[in-house]
Amino acid sequence: MQRGLSLESSKSPENLRRDRINRVFARAVIVPTVLALALIAVLILDTIYDTVSVQVVEVTETSGKSFPLGQAWNAEQVIRLELLAQGLPEEEVNRLMADPEEMRIFGLRNRVELMWATQDGPLRWVVSSIDDERVSNYSLLEGLRRWNELKAGLQENQQLRLNPWLDQSFLSRDPSRNPISAGLRVALFGTLWLLTMTLLLSVPIGVGTAIYLEEYAPKNALTRFIEVNLRNLAGVPSIVFGLLGLAVFVRGMNLGPTLAAAALTMALLIMPTITIAAREALRAVPDSVRLAAYALGATKWQTISKVVIPATIPGIATGVILAAARAIGEAAPLLLVGAAAYVAFVPRGPMSEYTVLPVQIYLWISANLSEFANTAAAGIIVLLLTLAGLYALAFWVRRRFRVEW
Amino acid sequence: MSTSSQNANSWAKKQPGKSLSERLIGTGLFILATISVLTTAAVIVVLFSESFQFFRQVPLTEFLFAPEWTPLFADPRYGIGALLAGTFLFTGIGLIVAIPLGLMTAVYLSEYAPFEQSVRVKGIMELLEGVPTVVFGYFALLFVTPILQSLIPGLNLFNPISAGLVLGFAILPYISNVASDAMMAVPRSLREAAYALGATKFEVVTRVVFPAAISGIVAAILLATSRAVGETMIAAIAAGQRPLLTLDPRETIATMTSYIVQAATGDQPAGSLASRALFSVGATLFVFTLTFNILAQRVVERYRERYE
Q: Quick one: pLDDT at residue A62?
A: 64
Question: CB burial class (10 A; 0-12, 13-18, 19+) of residue A307?
Answer: middle
CB of A235 within 8 Å of any CB in chain B? Answer: yes
- Mean confidence (pLDDT) of chain A: 88
A289 close to B (CB below 8 A): no
Q: Is the pLDDT of residue B194 over 90?
A: yes
Q: Is the pLDDT of residue B75 over 70?
A: yes
Query: Is it the case that residue A136 has pLDDT exceeding 80?
Result: yes
3-state SS assignment for residue A340:
coil
pLDDT of res. B166: 97
- pLDDT band of residue A42 (cuts 50, 70, 90) is very high
Which pLDDT belongs to residue A177?
80
Amino acid at B35: I
Q: Is A158 helix (H, G, I), strand (E, B) or coil?
A: strand
From the list B21, B42, B141, the residue facing A248 with the nearest CB is: B42
Chain B residues in contact with A328 (beta carbon < 8 A): 132
Q: Indicate yes or no: CB of B12 within 8 angstroms of CB of A300.
A: yes
- The kind and range of the H/E element at A329 are helix A309-329
β A133-139/A52-58 pair status: antiparallel
* A383·B132 Cβ contact <8 A: yes
* Choice between A252 and A63, residue whose per-residue pLDDT is larger: A252
- Who wins on pLDDT, A66 or A316? A316
Nearest-Cα distance to chain B for A370, in Å, is 10
Arithmetic mean of pLDDT, B130-134:
95
- Compute the distance between CA of residue A304 and CA of residue A211 in angstroms, rounded to an integer: 8
Q: Please give the backbone phi and psi of residue A258, each rounded to the nearest 5 degrees, phi first.
A: -115, 170
Arithmetic mean of pLDDT, B98-105? 96
Instruction: Name which of B177, B160, B178 is nearest B94 in CA terms.
Output: B160
Give the per-residue pLDDT at B122: 92
How far apart (Å, rounded) are the C-alpha atoms in residues A43 and A263? 30
ipTM of the complex: 0.91
Q: Please report the pLDDT score of residue B305 as a whole number.
A: 52
Chain A hits for B294, CB-CB cut-off 8 Å, are: 232
Nearest chain A Cα distance for residue B51, angstroms = 12
Phi and psi torsions of A122, nearest 5°: -80, 155
Determine the distance in angstroms separating the CA of B200 from the nearest CA of chain A, rounded to an integer: 5
DSSP string, chain B: --HHHHHHHHHHHT-TT--HHHHHHHHHHHHHHHHHHHHHHHHHHHHHHHHHHHHHHS-HHHHHH-S-B-TTSSS--B-THHHHHHHHHHHHHHHHHHHHHHHHHHHIIIII--HHHHHHHHHHHHHHHHS-HHHHHHHIIIIIHHHHHHHSTT--SS-HHHHHHHHHHHHHHHHHHHHHHHHHTS-HHHHHHHHHTT-BHHHHIIIIIHHHTHHHHHHHHHHHHHHHHH--HHIIIII-B-------TTS--B-HHHHHHHHHHS---TTSHHHHHHHHHHHHHHHHHHHHHHHHHHHHHHHHHHH-
Chain center to CA of B179: 15
- Winning range, highest mean pLDDT, from A149-158, A325-334, B261-270: A325-334
Q: Which residues of A touch B54 (CB under 8 A)?
A: none
Which chain B residues are Cβ-neighbours of A248 within 8 angstroms?
Answer: 42, 46
Q: Which segment of A267-276, A283-292, A317-326, B11-20 scores lowest on mean pLDDT?
A: B11-20
Question: Which chain A residue lies closest to B140 (C-alpha atoms)?
Answer: A43
Q: What is the DSSP string of A365-398?
A: HHSSSHHHHHHHHHHHHHHHHHHHHHHHHHHHHH
Reported confidence tier of residue A114, pLDDT bands at 50, 70, 90: confident
Which residues are registered as beta bridge partners of A139?
A53
CB-count exposure of residue A134 (10 Å: 0-12, 13-18, 19+): middle
- Of A4, A340, A383, which is closest to B195 when you measure between CB atoms? A4
pLDDT in tens, A165-221: 988 788 888 888 888 888 899 999 999 999 999 999 999 999 999 999 999 999 899
Question: How far is residue B164 CA from its own chain's centroid?
Answer: 14
Q: Which of A42, A43, A255, A334 to mutate to test the interface with B (most CBs of B within 10 A)?
A: A43
How far is CA A385 from its chain centroid? 7
Residue A188: HSE in the Cβ half-sphere, 13 Å Cα cutoff: 17
| Residue of A153, A47, A159, A146 lying closest to A113 (CA atoms) | A159
pLDDT above 90 covers a percentage of chain A that reads 55
Which has the closest alpha carbon to A377: A139, A128, A133?
A: A139
Chain A: give the shortest CA distance to residue B75, in Å: 25
DSSP SS3 for A161: strand
Looking at every residue in chain B, the average pLDDT score rounds to 89
Asked if the model's pLDDT at residue B17 lies above 60, the reply is no
Report the alpha-carbon distance of residue A346 to residue A352 in Å, rounded.
Answer: 9
Looking at per-residue pLDDT, the higher value among B305 and A61 belongs to: A61
> A55-59, A270-274, A371-375, B80-84 — which is least confidently predicted?
A55-59
Per CB-CB distance under 8 Å, the chain A contacts of B282 are 239-240, 243
Report yes or no: A103 at the B interface, CB cutoff 8 Å. no
A1 pLDDT above the threshold of 50: no
End-to-end CA distance of chain B: 16
> Quick one: pLDDT at residue B4?
46
Other Cβ atoms less than 10 A from the Cβ of B36: the count is 24
pLDDT at B3: 43
Of A3-17, A244-258, A304-318, B169-183, give the lowest mean pLDDT range.
Answer: A3-17
Q: Are A125 and A113 in contact (CB under 8 A)?
A: yes
User: How is residue A130 annotated by DSSP?
Assistant: T
The H or E element containing residue A399 is helix A370-401
CA atoms within 13 A on the CB side of B258: 36
Q: How confident is the model at residue A6 (pLDDT cuts 50, 70, 90)?
A: low
Q: Which residues of A touch B169 (CB under 8 A)?
A: 35-36, 39
Q: Which residues in chain B are closer than 8 Å to A332, comparing Cβ atoms?
A: 133, 232-233, 236, 257, 261
Q: Minimal CA–CA distance to A230: which of A217, A243, A242, A245?
A: A217
What pLDDT shows up at residue B1? 40
pLDDT given at position B265 = 77
| Contact indicator for B66, B78 with CB cutoff of 8 Å | yes
Q: Is pLDDT of B10 > 60?
A: no
Mean pLDDT of A17-41: 94
Provide the shortest C-alpha distance from residue B11 to chain A (in Å). Answer: 8
Tell me the shortest Cα–Cα distance from B61 to chain A, in angstroms. 24
Contact check, Cβ <8 Å, B200/A215 = no
Residues 6+ apart with CB under 8 A from A327: A194, A195, A198, A199, A266, A269, A270
Q: What's the one-letter identity of residue B156?
A: N
**Contact flag B15-A29 (C-beta cutoff 8 Å):** no
pLDDT digits (tens, 9 = 90+) for A290-346: 999 999 999 999 999 999 999 999 999 999 999 999 999 999 999 999 887 778 888
Contact (CB<8Å) B200/A391: no
Each residue's pLDDT tens digit, A22-32 = 999 999 999 99
- DSSP 8-state secondary structure symbol assigned to residue A60: -
B195-248 pLDDT per residue, tens:
999 999 999 999 999 999 999 999 999 999 999 999 999 999 999 989 999 899
- Chain B contact probe: residue of A45, A207, A212 with most B CBs at under 10 A: A212
CA-wise closest residue to B131 among A231, A9, A326: A326
Residue B174 CA neighbour count, 13 Å, CB half: 25
